[in-house]
Structure 1
């Protein structure tokens, strides 16, 4: 009898140990998805036919997306417009810019621009170094007229080229454009712990960029942030003494409530219980010292709240569109002038891709009052 009870306790203890270990591993793995620095590589889409202003690619969820996208291969790119036709295993798209790849070319089908301002749009620029507290961080500077600058901030594990979709509109308006990097970016200094801080520390690099812009003649700034870039902008508005220089803000799909994003993604994409997301969030806070709740724009609105153009796609698979709807609905209560624009289709931060004409018009109208 005693030995049987002992075996039962041993089985229970072993089971608890396994469950605890699994939960700990899951929490650590989940936290890695949020804060680990990742360098994304290329894709594996192939060209099956080419000519007469079209290119046929292998059919995939990426290549069949309607709208404006890029295809990058070694040292070159193509800008694609509408889908012309589809057949089993094949998608034919219209070429609207760049080069034309030959049959057999393998490359990456992307939602973001393929290179710097000159490569992507033929717009001249210079690279400047922003002196952040961790060291110099590169930024692309496109000159313009007047003393109101647009400062662009990319998202989590992204690159500054992701912000270039908006550059043609900004350039037509004559506004100077500064596309920044921040800690852990390629070419920028690493954070002391080598981890992302989800906006909680990165905002200081944005502050350094705004300070640099002011040293170059900027008196007012317009902030444009996509994905986590929007969270960085929000933290800057909450904590920086330079926030008073901001005249307007554009945010595209900001994951401002990280805990809500984690619960939604765990349930809808990974089919895991909310407890898994809760545990991952606690590990994130333990590893980084970040207070996730403090970054929530809905419950902790920024101290400075300039007019905000908020954009989101209804098919976003990474950040729930309802979060942006809720922030917009709370605008009056928060004493925050928010204009919300929702796009149909398109994954995370792909509003420009699914309807470039509308996106450019919205951004242009929003920024026109600041035209020099």
Structure 2
């Protein structure tokens, strides 16, 4: 009886087995790579739509001086080295200080000393970490203007808002609706309150669905403007009921995407006379591609994440009730459909929402879009860098394109 040959003694058979084993290893690696890609894409997609508060990571080194001449010493970075007026949150958001211009910069230690204009809440002297922000006025009290707390009623529940009636004896019947960006609060819009008061324009600074102050539990998901515009319609309902004839919708960052949708889809769109948009999201594809690049996400991961946001099959992954229509929020592609006057305020060094799509829209719709040049304000901080210029640009646009002579002279 002949024994079975030793497979080691037959190179061809051994080669077949090695090849088969290699295919198994390759398939395993491919499977792992696929799982890793899907997991990373799911994480990125959820990060885009889940509301979150930015961490307080800025090092506060020390505070010196007296209350009327106080300085704060901070770690120097791309944000703290730009002159202007800013906010500094600390103590997990419970504290807030208004910060002024640079007093001294030490390039060796990479530290910067800045004026403290006011501490609006908390004890800055004991703070060790903070968050740099464009929110200069954390609450209407800080503006020195009269205001009222109001509640708007939406399909998702009550929406807190602040109403600024203006100090004028004869307020105009043009109102402003102030819409903050992703991860922000209605305080973001307060920087517009002084110039609107000067123009005699009443204003509503609104919250909207999925804001921290409009809780819906752990299922809260931003619609990136594809759903929040409904709450702008509610705000316009309130303005019209109080005597407004038309409105100007202001939007910061994602608030701009919301404003575009309200102007194109809202039942009150005929009452929207203009949009004033700061650091606007004009094209979500461009923004999300940029965010993927700066976070070193491979192109396949980024593309899969975008697919997850727009496809019904990924609802269980993203937590979105309905997929997002990013094409509907691409206003470079939809430029021919634009029928509302727009002021775009967008700094060319914006490293969060690139200004390219804003320039593209302004270029192809010069008949409707005004875009002054800003180059060093980063994301939505054009007012902070130069409030006088920002106020002038806004006032000139509204007086030229929104208000009629009878309104102005009334």
Q: TM-score, length-normalised on structure 2?
A: 0.83
Q: 1:241 to 1:191 in 2, by over 3 A?
A: farther
Unpaired runs of at least 5, structure 2: 1-12
Give 2:310's aligned residue: 285
Match of 1:14 among 8, 22, 28: 28
* Residue 345 in structure 1 maps to residue 376 in structure 2: yes
* Residue 136 in structure 1 maps to residue 158 in structure 2: yes
* Residue 152 in structure 1 maps to residue 178 in structure 2: yes
Give 2:43's aligned residue: 29
Equivalent-residue separation in structure 2 for 1:339 and 1:47 (angstroms): 42
* Residue 109 in structure 1 maps to residue 132 in structure 2: yes
* Residue 170 in structure 1 maps to residue 193 in structure 2: no
Counterpart contact for 2:51–2:183, Cα < 8 Å? yes
User: What SS class does the counterpart of residue 200 from structure 1 fall into?
Assistant: coil
Give the Å deviation of 1:201: 0.7
User: What SS class does the counterpart of residue 176 from structure 2 fall into?
Assistant: strand
Equivalent-residue separation in structure 2 for 1:173 and 1:98 (angstroms): 28
Give the Å deviation of 1:33: 2.5
Coordinate RMSD, CA, aligned: 2.3
Between 1:71-80 and 1:48-57, the stretch displaced more is 71-80
Counterpart contact for 1:44–1:108, Cα < 8 Å? yes
Q: String of CA shifts for 1:1-37, please: whole Å, max 9, x gaps.
A: 3432331221121011111101101211221231112
User: What SS class does the counterpart of residue 313 from structure 1 fall into?
Assistant: coil
Equivalent residue runs for 1:67-82 within 5 Å = 67-73=84-90, 77-82=96-101
Equivalent-residue separation in structure 2 for 1:270 and 1:338 (angstroms): 32
Give 1:95's aligned residue: 116
Give 1:243's aligned residue: 269
Equivalent-residue separation in structure 1 for 2:254 and 2:343 (angstroms): 16
Equivalent residue runs for 1:51-70 within 5 Å = 51=65, 53-61=69-77, 62-70=79-87
Counterpart contact for 1:137–1:181, Cα < 8 Å? yes
Counterpart contact for 1:234–1:302, Cα < 8 Å? no
Q: 1:59 to 1:211 in 2, by over 3 A?
A: same
Give the Å deviation of 1:266: 2.1
Equivalent-residue separation in structure 1 for 2:126 and 2:277 (angstroms): 39
* Residue 203 in structure 1 maps to residue 229 in structure 2: yes
Equivalent-residue separation in structure 2 for 1:63 and 1:77 (angstroms): 16
Counterpart contact for 2:85–2:136, Cα < 8 Å? no
